[in-house]
Chain A
Amino acid sequence: MAFDEQYYNIGYLDRLSYQDTFVHRLDPRIKLITTLLFLFTVISFSKYEVAALLPFFLFPVILLTAGEIPLWFILKKVVIVSPFAIFIGIFNPLLDASPVTVLPGLTLAAGWFSFASILLKFILTVSTALLLVATTSFPTVCHGLRQLGVPSIFVSQLLFLYRYIFVLAEEAMRMVRARDMRSFGHEGTNVKVFIRIAGVLFLRTVERAERIYSAMLARGFQGDMPTRKRYRITARDLVFAGSVTFYLFVFRFYPATEILGRFFQELF
Chain B
Amino acid sequence: MHMADALLSPAVGATMWAGSLAALGYSSKRLKENIDNKTIPLMGVMGAFIFAAQMINFTIPGTGSSGHLGGGMILAAILGPYAAFLVMASVLTAQALFFADGGLLALGCNIWNLGIYPCFLAYPLIYKPIAGDGTNSRRLAVAAVISALLALQLGAFSVVLETFLSGKSELPFTSFVLLMQPIHLAIGLVEGFVTVGIISYVKTSRPEFLENSIASRPLADGTPVKNTLIAFAILAVITGGAISWFASTHPDGLEWSIEKVTGKRELAQQTQGISATLRKLQEKTAFLPDYNFKPPSKEKAAGEKSPVWPGIEAGTSIAGVVGGAIVLSVIVLIGFAIRTFKKRQD
Give me the interface of A with B, judged by CB distance under 8 Å.
Answer: 3, 6-7, 9-10, 13-14, 35-36, 39-40, 42-48, 50-51, 54-55, 57-58, 61-62, 64-66, 68, 77-78, 80-81, 84-85, 88-89, 91-92, 94-96, 98, 100-104, 110-111, 113-114, 117-119, 121-122, 125-126, 129-130, 132-133, 138, 141, 150-154, 156-165, 167-169, 171-172, 176, 186, 189-199, 201-203, 205-206, 208-210, 212-213, 216, 221-223, 225, 252-253, 256-262, 264-265
Given contacts A176-B56, A206-B206, contact A261 B318 (CB under 8 A): yes
Q: Is the interface of A mostly helix, strand, loop or mixed?
A: helix
Q: Assess the B317–A163 pair: CB atoms within 8 A.
A: no
Which residues of the partner chain A approach B57 to less than 8 Å between Cβ atoms?
3, 189
Given contacts A110-B309, A153-B31, contact A46 B303 (CB under 8 A): yes
Q: Assess the A199–B201 pair: CB atoms within 8 A.
A: yes
Given contacts A88-B163, A189-B58, A256-B323, contact A77 B99 (CB under 8 A): yes
| Nearest Cβ on chain A to B270's Cβ, whole angstroms | 25
| Nearest Cβ on chain A to B209's Cβ, whole angstroms | 6
Which residues of the partner chain A approach B309 to less than 8 Å between Cβ atoms?
48, 98, 100, 110, 113
Q: Assess the B45–A209 pair: CB atoms within 8 A.
A: yes
Q: Assess the A65–B338 pair: CB atoms within 8 A.
A: yes
Segment 300-346 of B: residues with Cβ below 8 Å from A = 300, 303-304, 307-310, 312, 314-324, 326-328, 331-332, 334-336, 338-339, 342
Q: Assess the B299–A46 pair: CB atoms within 8 A.
A: yes
16 A-B pairs besides A191-B197, A221-B37, A258-B320 with CB distance below 8 A are: A39-B103, A48-B310, A51-B323, A84-B4, A98-B308, A133-B97, A153-B35, A161-B44, A163-B44, A168-B45, A168-B49, A189-B66, A198-B197, A213-B42, A261-B322, A265-B318
A-B complex: 10 closest residue pairs judged by Cβ atoms: A160-B44, A261-B323, A199-B201, A261-B319, A195-B197, A51-B320, A164-B48, A151-B28, A122-B6, A257-B323
21 A-B contact pairs sorted by A residue (CB < 8 Å): A10-B99, A44-B296, A45-B296, A57-B331, A62-B338, A66-B338, A81-B100, A81-B101, A85-B6, A98-B309, A100-B312, A126-B103, A163-B44, A164-B47, A168-B49, A172-B52, A193-B58, A203-B209, A257-B326, A259-B319, A264-B326
Other-chain residue from A150, A206, A252 in contact with B296 (beta carbon distance below 8 A)? A252
Interface flag for B181 (CB, 8 Å): no
Interface flag for B5 (CB, 8 Å): yes
Q: Assess the B55–A88 pair: CB atoms within 8 A.
A: no
CA distance A96 to B25 in the complex (A): 41
Q: Assess the A198–B296 pair: CB atoms within 8 A.
A: no
Which residues of the partner chain A approach B241 to less than 8 Å between Cβ atoms?
none
CA distance A133 to B99 in the complex (A): 10
| Nearest Cβ on chain A to B216's Cβ, whole angstroms | 13
Given contacts A43-B8, A209-B45, A258-B323, contact A95 B171 (CB under 8 A): yes
Mask of B21-42 contacts with A, CB within 8 angstroms, 1/0:
0001100110110010110111
Q: Assess the B97–A129 pair: CB atoms within 8 A.
A: yes
Which of the candidate stretches B82-90, B223-231, B261-269, B280-288 sits at the interface with the other chain?
Answer: B82-90
Q: Assess the B90–A161 pair: CB atoms within 8 A.
A: yes
For B9, give the chain A residue with the smallest CB separation: A43
Which residues of the partner chain B approach A64 to less than 8 Å between Cβ atoms?
335
Give me the interface of B with A, judged by CB distance under 8 Å.
Answer: 1-2, 4-10, 13-14, 24-25, 28-29, 31-32, 35, 37-38, 40-49, 51-53, 55-61, 64, 66, 69, 86-87, 89-91, 93-94, 96-101, 103-105, 163, 167-172, 190, 193-194, 197-198, 201-202, 205-206, 209, 294-297, 299-300, 303-304, 307-310, 312, 314-324, 326-328, 331-332, 334-336, 338-339, 342
Which residues of the partner chain A approach B297 to less than 8 Å between Cβ atoms?
44
| Nearest Cβ on chain B to A179's Cβ, whole angstroms | 9
Other-chain residue from B93, B104, B310, B315 in contact with A125 (beta carbon distance below 8 A)? B104
Given contacts A77-B99, A160-B45, contact A125 B105 (CB under 8 A): yes
CA distance A94 to B193 in the complex (A): 38
For A117, give the chain B residue with the smallest CB separation: B168
Q: Assess the B342–A111 pair: CB atoms within 8 A.
A: no
Which residues of the partner chain B approach A7 to less than 8 Å between Cβ atoms?
55
CA distance A262 to B29 in the complex (A): 56
Given contacts A110-B309, A130-B100, A153-B28, contact A165 B320 (CB under 8 A): no
Q: Assess the A201–B296 pair: CB atoms within 8 A.
A: no
| Nearest Cβ on chain B to A263's Cβ, whole angstroms | 8
| Nearest Cβ on chain B to A96's Cβ, whole angstroms | 5
For B204, give the chain A residue with the smallest CB separation: A199
Given contacts A39-B105, A81-B99, contact A205 B45 (CB under 8 A): yes
For A80, give the chain B residue with the smallest CB separation: B99
Which residues of the partner chain B approach A194 to less than 8 Å between Cβ atoms?
56, 58, 69, 194
Other-chain residue from B35, B101, B299, B334 in contact with A61 (beta carbon distance below 8 A)? B334
Which residues of the partner chain A approach B60 to less than 8 Å between Cβ atoms?
191
Given contacts A154-B24, A172-B55, A193-B58, contact A199 B48 (CB under 8 A): no
Q: Assess the B342–A66 pair: CB atoms within 8 A.
A: yes
Which residues of the partner chain A approach B304 to less than 8 Å between Cβ atoms?
46-47
CA distance A118 to B310 in the complex (A): 17
Task: From A36, A91, A98, A129, name the one whose CB has the most chain B CB atoms within 10 angstroms.
Answer: A129
Which residues of the partner chain A approach B28 to less than 8 Å between Cβ atoms?
151-154
Q: Assess the B190–A261 pair: CB atoms within 8 A.
A: no
Which residues of the partner chain A approach B32 to less than 8 Å between Cβ atoms?
151, 153
Q: Assess the B52–A161 pair: CB atoms within 8 A.
A: no
Given contacts A48-B303, A66-B338, A191-B61, contact A206 B209 (CB under 8 A): yes
CA distance A9 to B55 in the complex (A): 12
